[in-house]
Amino acid sequence: MSSLTDAIQLISGNRPDHLTLQEQVYQRLRLDIMTGRFIPGKSVTIRGLAEELGTSPMPVREALRRLVAERALALLPNRRVAVPEMTAEKYRELADARIALEPLAARRALDHLDDKMLERLRFIDSEVDEGIRLDDVELYLRKNMEFHFTLYRAGTSEVIMPLIESLWLQIGPFLYLAQKRTGLGTVEDQHHAALRAIEAKDADALTEAIHLDILDGVNRMPDSEFAQKSA
């Protein structure tokens, strides 16, 4: 089973039985990064995470090693780990990469989406709307991620999806900050347009809806919030 499938199960509250404890810890921390539970500027310790997850330090240490290698986290001199520093330039590059890849993933998935999958996406989007209604950023981001990944997974891409997951790992904590700062009251749920496009089998409309959805999220973070590169 792919890490993407495992992530979707974890978002929806299920624990994949086939995963080892070490892999469960890795997938859980990976999901937490993607959905902003690792806040930029706040470091964490192996022991603290192990206590939070109810496990020994060993699987946490291995998971963090993998996440540092994926550039999702950075190892600090004091042996703590934290979200890497972000610049406005890097943030925009990550956003541009998402805009390039995710509409393509959605377009590739379209022919594989049946009525059952469409209903599943509608249900997930109702949970996205609930997050917006409650101004619950964590709920909104988890369900937004579940919507996107459930859609893209239907395309069964072995190349595009790992790239998209890597982008979410790097940009996720900053999307959380952006939504926290502005609140969800002005969010326009582009998933509604995406669902209409899926129902109509309109690839161009689906591409546009995903494009606009990404822009709505990434444009909420002002450049002033990022570290400046030294001259």
What is the average pLDDT across 37-46?
A: 88
Tokens of residue 187, six digits: 């969010």
23 and 40: one domain? yes
What is the average pLDDT across 19-39?
A: 88
Q: Is 177:42 a contact under the CB 8 Å cutoff? A: no
Tokens of residue 130, six digits: 């609930």
Q: What is the CATH number of the domain that holds 202?
A: 1.20.120.530
Q: Alpha-carbon distance 158 to 13, whole Å?
A: 25
- Specify if 231 maps to a domain: no
The pLDDT confidence band at residue 127, using thresholds 50, 70 and 90, is: very high
Tens of pLDDT, residues 92-120: 999 999 999 999 999 999 999 999 999 99
Tens of pLDDT, residues 172-230: 999 888 888 888 888 888 999 999 999 999 999 999 999 999 998 888 877 767 765 43
Last residue within a domain, chosen from 60, 82, 104: 82
In the chain, where does DSSP find H-type helix?
Answer: 3-11, 21-34, 46-53, 57-69, 88-109, 115-134, 137-153, 160-182, 191-200, 203-218
Burial class (CB in 10 A: 0-12, 13-18, 19+), 18: exposed
Give the count of domains, the chain.
2
- Specify if 49 maps to a domain: yes
Could you list the residue range(s) of the whole structural domain that residue 211 is in? 88-222
**pTM metric for this prediction:** 0.86
